[in-house]
Amino acid sequence: MKAPSFAYAKPRTLAEAFELIERPGAKILAGGQSLIPTLNMRLSAPELLVDITGLAGLSNIEAKNGAVRIGALCTHAMVERSPEVREHLPLLAEAMPHIAHPAIRNRGTLGGSLALADPAAELPACAVALDAVLIIASRKGERRVRAVEFFKGLFETDLKQGEILVGAEFPKAEKSAFVELTRRHGDYAIVGLAAVTKQRERRISLFGFADRPVLIRPGSLEEAKGSLPKPAADLYHSSATKLHLAKVLLERAWNRL
Amino acid sequence: MEQTLTTTMTVNGSQVTRAIPARQHLVDFLREELGLTGSHIGCEHGVCGACTIRVNGEVVRGCLMLAVQANGCRVDTIEGLSDSKELERLQKAFHEKNALQCGFCTPGMLMAAQDLVRARKKATREEIRAHISGNYCRCTGYQAIVDAIDEVING
Amino acid sequence: MGKAELPLHAPGTQVDKGYIGESTPRPNAQRLLQGRGAFTDDLRFPRLAHVAFFRSPYAHARIRKLSLEKARAQPGVVGVFDGRAVAEYCKPWVAVLAHLKGIKSPAQHAIAIERACWQGEACAAVVAESRTQAEDAVQHIEAEWEELPVVVDMEESLSGKRVIHPDLGDNICFKREHDTGGVEEIFAKADVVVEDTFHFGRHTGVCVEGRAILADYNAAEHSLTVYHATQAPHMMQDIFSRHLNIPEGNVRVIAKDVGGSFGIKVHVYADEMATAALSIMLRRPVKFVADRLESFLSDIHAREHRARVRLACTKAGEILAFDLDDLTAIGPYSVYPRTSGIEGNQVVNLTGGPYKHQKYRARMHVVFTNKNVTCQYRAVGHPIAVALTEGIVDLAAQKIGIDPADFRRKNLISDDAYPYTFPSGIKFEKLSHHKALDLLLRITNYAGLRAEQSRLRQQKIYRGIGLAAMIEVTNPSPAFYGVGGARISAQDGATLRLEPTGMVTVMCSVTEQGQGTEGIFAQIAASAVGVSIDKVRVITGDTGVTPYGGGTWASRGAGIGGEAVLLAGRALRANMLDVAAKMLSLDKAELDVRDNHVINRLTGEAKLPLAELGRVAYFRPDTLPIDFQSELTVTRHYTPRQYGFTFTNGIQASLVEVDPDTGFVKLLKHWCVEDSGTVINPMLVDEQIRGGVVQGIGAALYEECLYGPDGQLLNGNMADYLVPMAGEMPDIVCAHIETPTLQSQLGAKGVGEAGTAGAPAAVMNAINDALAPLGARVTRMPFTPERILQALKKV
């Protein structure tokens, strides 16, 4: 199980990075906690890995204007430990310990998780629930995309050739709840939900459910349960089971919203 | 043509510089190039925890990091932390409570355990179980491991 | 008679047991704790080459053409070989045993030649300067395949519509029928008949260390040294010799540290045989370490069973008969040399085992499928037999309305009934079911648990308590394999040597897989010789050094190897006293050995340090009488023969809470009472039981090799195949009854498999107990949330 051959470059500036990622067969490497397993299994064969972890200024967490901006290179552990996150984004604080295990959280990054867009992952769902804005840089400058528009499908995002996700802004919410069901501690969830109440509106984002986080904005619990689409089955759970479990989670989270 | 990169890191306190193939992960480098065979390869996809080592003071999966990414880093393995005696209390407790059988998972398990020992003054059994839940042991029932860590943290 | 010549279990006699029964930490754990063990993959050799295999992507396909030229041209490649090339050096094998009447299997080659019969079967080998280069080159092998019909389902296989090996006529590898007679009549007349069908998922061992072999052929000597992560070095020595055509004396197998085995590393694997052949072909050392993905595809799997079981009993709750129909699928080949018929055979032998009914009928089929091969994995057949027995026993108790503990007490074989022959034909020397049950009920506070359970039910909290009584095969005699013609030794040997310094070296044919073999041998040797444990060094796992023997499997290491160490230790002590008697000009009968000294037996006075005895015996024998020669190296062997197996018994309990909304099962606590005879090291025994319980919990809740209809393994990685991790496991309480076997002086029975044997049944019964008020029941392992929700009709 040894990775196929590839080249490696570690740019120091965004400008260098933009040049490198436009090369044929280039792929961005951040924390590598999802990418490196696929390399070791030879499920992925990039020609060039562009290691962006040397880029300056992408590892900050700062609270301002009712939101918390988190740099793409912040590791899960940094987010987990952040006083700003704990104070302003209890949803993220509650979600972080569910992401894999400490050794993974020490390397895995916020940007990497969002850019990978694994439909069973916690962070994309949190971003959608909070109505986060993702900040994307390219040679042409920066653009901002709402999370709900960023996730396009199974491991598919709005990121285009030549672009790098550099951070995300998570607006505060009044209330929040994070629940997920995993067979074992740290596993990807069978199904989970990240939910907030913002300006009296409940925003509930389900993960492990469809090809991307599913956002619902129900007025009542019954409406919430009735508005769920048919989920995708996984290895161990049929669509019917996932739908049932999602409804159970809705019931459990509802009173916290 | 295989790309190699000249990489310098401090492994168990000694600086090493090698030309490392870009694709080689850190545990393969430690094992194959430096002969530090105490870090074990159990799955090479980040699940079993047998290759858990410390980079810049934080535990990581050695199979989920390229060796070239450790350029400029401080890397500590079971051999180094044994010689420095940092793990002495845990090793003693593991030994006395038989918290290992085949010993293949043990270096990684000790790394994960020491991470908790350094971070916490107190920990419940549930918290200990949660902290080592990313380290797979097929031999023990985990109970002796929890007992050993419990003793070191909670006295 | 000297005190230590008595069996350790001699009734009414004070015997100094020394370290036996003490929780002594294992000396060999120290190197493992510092990452300074020597696992096979840690070894470094000059000119070491690495092999990677080209494995079949299809479950069943004819190899029309293999193009190896491109692969041969890749950087670092030493050689690329197909099945025909390797077959010139390695003879194929057929895994059958004479005492499993009618068992059949096709010949299996080290590398498949014409046809691949499961996804993952090796079809070509690439040897290169590094594993990475070998894997690179494998990607350049081009194959033309002709896909063949795939048989995945075992019922379909049994029907024989498509026959995997046409030469064999049908898909039945082995079948067995057993009948005491009178079963039909009993079922026709019985007050109560219960019946259910149970399904057991196919699962696998997932040793943290993958299979590993380093074969080093020396062309000058025509000798082969194999460093092998194995449980049975002598068995492998014989097999390498016969199949690679090297005189047995020229083959040496060395098992250094082994990273877990559980039965996975006691079989002949085609890719490992190929590795040894490649070393001969290339005249240099070649290493193969199975990576995790190929481990899932090629380590033996186990357990896939579908079994229907019926039980007849009286209204009063007396069990009258069991009736069993078991079907199991083993992949396309019976595995060499133990065969894949044993697991099903054990299910027939053991089902109903703890109980005193007299009528029993069983029918069992072992069929071929196009999945990975299955064979003996920890507790072979027991988890199935125990779950069938205990699952149907609970159903009967429920139907009659008797508490499961009371129902068992009525039916367990009495503690004074031994020796006893069970209706399947197996014989028990001495078991203690009732003592074990009583102890379990005490340590669980069973009555308290039941009261708490009903209290919580009022609050809609659904807890369940599950019991599982069990019997287990340990210390097998030659009746297990030897009588069937397999060259698998049922005996083991130990050599003890007093060193000039007063140290004792132990060499034993039982191997260390982490269970603590070397630790308990040190305890036994120190106790038998009379030295402190720090004076003992133990060497295992080297056919060039140790006496001949079977190795580690079937819970036999302590009971058989330990007895050999004890006998050798006592003999060495006697020989040491001979020397001392000459040196001191005293009567041997006045002397003994204790605390590294020869002492006066009556007064305890130290007469002579062993280091002085060693000095004289080795360096100044000229000072001893001319007609006296010291013999300070002693070898003894032991084979259990009075019984086919030394059965043990035990009983487990599981406490769970089921969330009826999610189908999740929370394991709250687990108990195991075990009677494994003399306990040599309680600390080691307890954690080994716990590890076994956790593997059994894996079977009950998590582990299953999932295959698609095309025979593709769907979850062959550690993210998708779920093994038990620390976060979900309960604390496990162990307690012991000690009924020593009287067949040996040591009295130890085996214990390595007990936890795994009983845990699935206990957890299953606990879940069903929790679900009972909700009218649901599960019988298909593993009990995933989905299966529980389906039983609750929620999905």
Which residues in chain B land under pLDDT 50?
none
Task: Please tell me if residue A8 touches chain B, with a CB cutoff of 8 Å.
Answer: yes
Chain A residues whose CB is inside 8 A of the B68 CB are 8, 10
Tokens 């709250």 correspond to what residue?
A: C668
CATH superfamily of A175-256: CO dehydrogenase flavoprotein, C-terminal domain (3.30.390.50)
A26 has which bridge partners?
A48
Beta bridge partners of C652: C468, C672
The answer on B112 and B74 residing in a single domain is no
Taking an 8 Å cut-off on Cβ atoms, the answer to whether A40 and B45 are in contact is yes
Instruction: Tell me the per-residue pLDDT of C571-604, one tens digit each, with 9 for 90 and over.
Output: 999 999 999 999 999 999 999 999 999 999 999 9
B10 and B64 share a domain?
yes
Q: Is C26 in Cβ contact with B94 (below 8 Å)?
A: no
Out of A1, A183, A235, the one facing C702 most closely (by C-beta) is A183
| Residue where a domain terminates, one of B48, B81, B114 | B81
Structure tokens at C479: 């009746």
The verdict on A238 touching C (C-beta cutoff 8 Å) is yes
What is the C-alpha separation between C480 and C433, in angstroms, rounded? 24
Range of the domain at B142: 85-154
Closest CA to C287 of C236, C345, C226: C226
B47 and B99, same domain (yes or no):
no
- pLDDT, residue C4, reads 54
Residues of chain C with C-beta less than 8 angstroms from the C-beta of B41: 41
Judgement on whether residues B67 and B107 belong to the same structural domain of the protein = no
List the single residue in B50, B103, B136 with the smallest CB-CB distance to C29.
B103
**Average pLDDT in the C49-67 region?**
98
- What pLDDT does C15 receive? 73
Residue B22 touches partner A, C-beta closer than 8 Å: yes
How many angstroms separate the CA of residue A20 from the nearest CA in chain B?
Answer: 16
Strands (E), B12-79: 14-21, 52-55, 58-61, 74-76
Q: Are B22 and A51 a contacting pair at CB < 8 A?
A: no
Name the phi and psi angles at A226, rounded to 5: -80, -15
Q: How far is C201 from chain B (nearest CA, A)?
A: 19
Q: What residues pair up with C309 in beta bridges, in sequence order?
A: C196, C324
Q: What percent of chain C has pLDDT over 90?
A: 97
A134 touching B (Cβ < 8 Å): no
Q: Domain holding B31: CATH number? A: 3.10.20.30
* C789 contact A CB<8A: yes
- Is residue C136 over pLDDT 60? yes
**pLDDT-based confidence at residue C85 (cuts at 50, 70, 90):** very high
Give the pLDDT band (50/70/90) at residue A24.
very high
Q: Which two tokens stand for residue C186?
A: 């009993």
For residue C500, count other CB atoms closer than 10 A to its CB: 16
Residue pair B51/B108 in contact (Cβ under 8 Å)? The answer is yes
Asked whether the domain spanning A61-171 has the same topology as the one spanning A7-50, the reply is no
pLDDT single digits (tens) C536-571: 999 999 999 999 999 999 999 999 999 999 999 999
Identify which of B104, B107, B143 has the shortest CB distance to residue C732: B143
Whole-number pLDDT of residue C10: 82
- pLDDT tens-digit readout, C434-476: 999 999 999 999 999 999 999 999 999 999 999 999 999 999 9
Give B78-102 pLDDT, tens digit per residue: 999 999 999 999 999 999 999 999 9
Distance separating alpha carbons of residues A77 and A96, to the nearest angstrom: 8
Contact B102 C718 (CB under 8 A): no
If one counts the domains in chain B, the total is 2
Please count the residue pairs, one from chain A and one from chain C, whose beta carbons lie less than 8 angstroms apart. Answer: 61
A1:C720 CB<8 A: no
Distance to chain C for A78, nearest Cα, Å: 23
Q: Give the number of beta-carbon pairs within 8 Å between B and C.
A: 180
Question: Per-residue DSSP letters for C512-568?
Answer: PSSSSHHHHHHHHHHHHHT--GGGEEEEESBTTTSPP---S-TT-IIIIIHHHHHHH
Structure confidence at residue C9 (pLDDT): 86
In this structure, the answer to whether residues B97 and B129 fall within a common structural domain is yes
Of B104, B144, B145, the CB nearest to C208: B104
Hey, is the C-beta of A240 within 8 angstroms of any chain C C-beta? yes
For residues B93 and B119, state if they share a domain. yes
pLDDT of residue C2: 45
Q: Which residue of A has its CA nearest to B56?
A: A106
Of C135, C727, C789, the CB nearest to A244: C789
Based on the fold, state whether residues B9 and B76 are members of the same structural domain.
yes
Q: Do B23 and A4 touch (CB under 8 A)?
A: yes
Average pLDDT over residues C390-414: 98
Span C665-680, mean pLDDT?
98
Compare CB distances from A237 to C714, C720, C786 and report the shortest one's residue: C786
DSSP E strands in chain B: the ranges are 4-11, 14-21, 52-55, 58-61, 74-76
Could you tell me if B25 and B57 lie in one domain?
A: yes
- Count of residues in chain B: 155
User: Chain B partners of C296 at a C-beta cutoff of 8 Å?
Assistant: none
Are C457 and C773 within 8 A, CB to CB?
A: yes
Q: Are residues B97 and B139 in the same domain?
A: yes
Determine the Cα–Cα distance for residues C367 and C200; give it in Å rounded to an integer.
15
The verdict on B108 and B77 lying in the same domain is no
Q: CA C312 to CA C303: how far, in whole Å?
A: 26
- What pLDDT, on a 0 to 100 scale, did the predictor assign at position C1? 35
**How far C322 CA lies from chain B's nearest CA (Å)?**
33
Q: What would the pLDDT profile of C137-191 be if each residue is shown by its tens digit?
A: 999 999 999 999 999 999 999 999 999 999 999 999 999 999 999 999 999 999 9
Interface test with B, best of C45, C130, C208, C763 (most B CBs within 10 A): C208
Same domain, B121 and B77: no
Residue C385 confidence (pLDDT) above 90 = yes
Domain ranges of chain A: 7-50, 61-171, 175-256
Across the interface, whether the CB atoms of A245 and C785 are under 8 A apart is answered yes
CATH code, A61-171: 3.30.465.10
Q: Which of C687, C728, C731, C732 to mutate to test the interface with B (most CBs of B within 10 A)?
A: C687
What are the phi and psi torsion angles at C214 (to 5°)? -125, 110
Kindly tell me if the per-residue pLDDT of A102 is higher than 60. yes
Percent of chain C with pLDDT over 70: 99
Q: Which two tokens stand for residue C108?
A: 């299996």
Q: Which chains touch B (3 or more CB pairs under 8 A)?
A: A, C
Q: Which residue has the tokens 């920890």?
A: C378
Instruction: Round to whole Å and give the CA distance between B24 and B18.
Output: 12
A1, C136: Cβ pair inside 8 Å? no
The pair of structure tokens assigned to C393 is 């026993």
Structure tokens at C420: 């006893």
Q: Are residues B76 and B90 in the same domain?
A: no
Q: Which pLDDT score is estimated for C5?
A: 74
Residue in C32, C139, C763 to test binding to B, most B beta-carbons within 10 Å: C32
> What pLDDT, on a 0 to 100 scale, did the predictor assign at position C13?
64
Dig out the tokens for C526 from the structure.
């120190």
Question: What HEC string does chain A produce?
Answer: CCCCCCEEECCCCHHHHHHHHCCCCEEEECCCCCHHHHHHCCCCCCCEEEEHHHCCCCCCEEEECCEEEEECCCEHHHHHHCHHHHHHCHHHHHHHHHCCCHHHHCCCEHHHHHHHCCCCCHHHHHHHHHCCEEEEEECCEEEEEEHHHHEEECCEECCCCCCEEEEEEEECCCEEEEEEECCCCCCCCCEEEEEEEECCEEEEEEECCCCCCEEECCCCHHHHHHCCCCCCCCCCCCHHHHHHHHHHHHHHHHCCC
For B76, left (φ over 0), alpha (ψ -120 to 50), or beta?
beta
Find the CB nearest A40 among B21, B25, B112. Answer: B25
At B103, which CATH number?
Answer: 1.10.150.120
Q: Is the CB of A243 inside 8 Å of chain B's CB atoms?
A: no
- As assigned by CATH, the class of the A7-50 domain is alpha beta
Is some CB atom of chain A closer than 8 A to the CB atom of C728? yes
Q: pLDDT tens, C467-508?
A: 999 999 999 999 999 999 999 999 999 999 999 999 999 999
User: What's the CA gap between A94 and A88, in Å, rounded?
Assistant: 12
Which residues are CB-contacts of A192 (< 8 A; sequence separation ≥ 6)?
A98, A122, A125, A178, A179, A180, A181, A206, A207, A208, A249
Q: Which residues in chain A are closer than 8 Å to C706, comparing Cβ atoms?
A: 235
How many Cα atoms are found within 13 Å in the side-chain-facing hemisphere of C407?
25
Residue A118 reports pLDDT greater than 70: yes
CA distances from C746 to A157, C120, C410, C565 (A): 68, 45, 33, 10
Q: Indicate yes or no: CB of B102 within 8 angstroms of CB of C258.
A: yes
Query: CB distance from C717 to chain B under 8 Å?
Result: yes
Q: What structural domains does chain C harbor? A: 40-148+206-298 (3.90.1170.50), 301-477+642-791 (3.30.365.10), 491-638 (3.30.365.10)
Contact between C529 and C573 under an 8 Å Cβ cutoff? The reply is yes
Enter the tokens of residue C40. Answer: 């096979």
Counting runs of H as helices and runs of E as strands, what totals does chain B give?
6, 5
Task: Decide if C683 and B98 are in contact by the 8 Å CB cutoff.
Answer: yes
Is the previous residue joined to C476 through a cis bond, with omega within 30 degrees of 0? Answer: no
A/B interface, count of CB pairs below 8 Å: 89
